[in-house]
Structure 1
Amino acid sequence: MKRQHFKLIPIAIGVSCFVVATLLKAYLSSQGISSNQYPNTDHELSLKIEESLSPSSPTDSDKIYALPSNAVASSLNGGYRLSELEVTGQLNLSNKDPKQDKGFIFLDSLNQKFMASKLGLDHKHHFLNSFLVDYHPFEVKEFWMPHQVLSMRLKYQLDKEQFAGFQEIWLSSYESYRIGRGDCEDHSIALADWLIGMGEDARVVVGTHKGQGHAWVVVIRPKGTFLLESTSKKKRRLWSNYPLASLAQGYVPEAMFDRDYYWISDQSGDPSDYSGPQWLKTGRIHR
């Protein structure tokens, strides 16, 4: 009889779990929350990607997520201000071939780098922060999901291959997702923007990896800083699967930015420390 009693325990636990799940589902339904609100499997994510690419009013989305018409960058230390229209105007006056344009770095009155700009899809110059347009294709419940979605949606392609010989064209997070192609900067911008929208302290980092120009994403959390290779297609379903920045090798960061601020590294400290004293917050933009 005792053996039969113990055999019934797993059954009782299973029944209890089923009852709890049923009650929870009923409660969520009564609150107007669907248990299937968020995608979980690769198939569900694929369906959400297809759905997100067929908006009811794409023209409205194009306007909502358009690049700023004339953002202004200001130095936090040197008291200098500069607008995107001024930068584009100077470029037009120089008669420089836009296909050879690799962007600009700006110095303030203290001779300190406080901002950088790149040519956008509209062939106008935009500050790096401007490419983060607060875009996330759809809601997800897990922080690893944006990387998973973008690895499924985006294909790696160099600017000169995608844009008829242009050396450097940066895409906004919205443009990258809609086009479905881009290089490391475009992947990183799309990923960081989505994570910022989920409340993460995510930043796009530009520098070198093993001696080659590169861009990646760091997420600064209380328990550590994680480094995300935005172009990686490897599936990672937990934050613990992402490498700590302190363990990543070959990365030499030079600058980083989020939607508002711009940081430069004075190269004096540990390159794997993204919140150390070597990082100087030197600029911000006003949209």
Structure 2
Amino acid sequence: MSRKRNKTFSFNSFFTILVWIAIVIWLRDLRDGEDPVISALLAQSQSASAAMPGGLEHAGPASGSVSITGTLGNYTSEELSSLIQKYNPGPLSGMYFFRLNNIENATAIAPGLDERGHIVNAFLEGFSPFVVDNVWMPLYVIAKRKSYMLDSINYGREELWQTSRQAFYFANGDCEDHAIVLADWLIDMGYDARVALGRYQNTGHAWVVLIKDNQEFILEATQKSQLSTGIPYPLAAALPEYQPMAQFNRDTFWINNGSNLTIRYRGDNWVAQSQYSRGEDFKFNWDEAEQR
């Protein structure tokens, strides 16, 4: 009987050692970036990079127009850019908010890499680089493949926005470039994702808000460490240092009519100011528009 117990003990001990060896090897591979899931994901990312279309360096998003909520006002990106030139001749130097049809902050435009003004929704082109089956994977890919760089260093201009397609293929970009490609990818997966504009630690910033399972998550692609392909990211309620002023997706532009100290990205304080349409032409009425 004593001998039988020793044999059982020896087998269990040997099995336990094998399990621990397997765990140590897995942790080593994970540390070295050799986790099979991550390796496959980064390989897909690299493969997608090889398919970069030509002519992206100086391209801008397709033209479009906005319909102002509750009014008959419709304005194209070209018309809004012309309105800015009327008051501020010269190259577009940053993002502009508009008062249109007596609606404050009805929409916003920003300069693309073509150095022309575009309605901010237009930068979400409906681009998805490749298919993934995990909602957290796009953040991991963008954070790993794209480096943060200010536009003043990257382009010698204070502000130039990349489209979602450009932001995936180009190695460098600032906060809105990271946010645009991430939000567009998540939208293509069927999720409610938005680019949020506001302030973070008293500095102008852009980030992504993901609404999933009736909860609001903040996804920060400019954060390059402590990332995972499978761990949910912080709830917006836990990050009051993010102070949102506006949000947009492919179709809608929202403004925060409450306090910028809010930790909520839905509710009565968020008002849908305008709806975006691609490739539409409408007659512009100068008397009804006032650049702000």
Q: What is aligned with 1:237?
A: 229
Task: Note if contact 2:240-2:261 (Cα within 8 Å) is conserved in structure 1.
Answer: no
Give per-residue Cα distances to partners, 1:140-164, cap 9 Å, x unaligned.
1111110111111100000111112
CA distance in 2, matches of 1:139, 1:224: 24
Q: What is aligned with 1:52?
A: 48
CA distance in 2, matches of 1:73, 1:40: 45
Give per-residue Cα distances to partners, 1:49-92, cap 9 Å, x unaligned.
2211112x835x96xx9611x20111112332211111333455
Q: What is aligned with 2:73?
A: 80
Task: Note if contact 1:129-1:258 (Cα within 8 Å) is conserved in structure 2.
Answer: yes
Amino acid aligned to 2:77: E
Candidates 117, 128, 134, aligned match of 2:120: 128
Task: Please provide the CA RMSD for this pair.
Answer: 2.7
Q: Which has the higher contact order (CA 8 A, sep 6+)?
A: 2
How do residues 126-275 of structure 1 correspond to structure 2 at under 5 angstroms?
126-164=118-156, 166-234=157-225, 235-240=227-232, 242-268=233-259, 271-275=262-266
Q: What is aligned with 2:287?
A: none
CA shift in 2, pair 1:219/1:81, >3 Å: same
Give per-residue Cα distances to partners, 1:81-140, cap 9 Å, x unaligned.
211111333455667342x61132111223322100000011111111000011111111
Q: What is aligned with 1:277?
A: 268
Q: Secondary structure at the match of 1:140?
A: coil
1:67 aligned onto 2:61:
yes
CA distance in 2, matches of 1:222, 1:49: 28
TM-score normalised by the chain length of structure 2: 0.77
Q: What is aligned with 1:42?
A: 38
CA distance in 2, matches of 1:180, 1:266: 36
What's the % identity of the aligned pairs? 33
Amino acid aligned to 1:136: S
Cα distance, 1:198 vs. partner? 0.6
CA shift in 2, pair 1:40/1:122, >3 Å: farther
Task: Note if contact 1:206-1:215 (Cα within 8 Å) is conserved in structure 2.
Answer: yes
Q: Unaligned stretches of 5+ in structure 2?
A: 16-34, 279-292
CA distance in 2, matches of 1:253, 1:204: 10
Off by >6 Å, runs of 4+ in structure 1: 1-4
CA distance in 2, matches of 1:149, 1:273: 27
Figure out how many residues of one structure are paired with residues of the other and give that number.
Answer: 249
TM-score normalised by the chain length of structure 1: 0.78
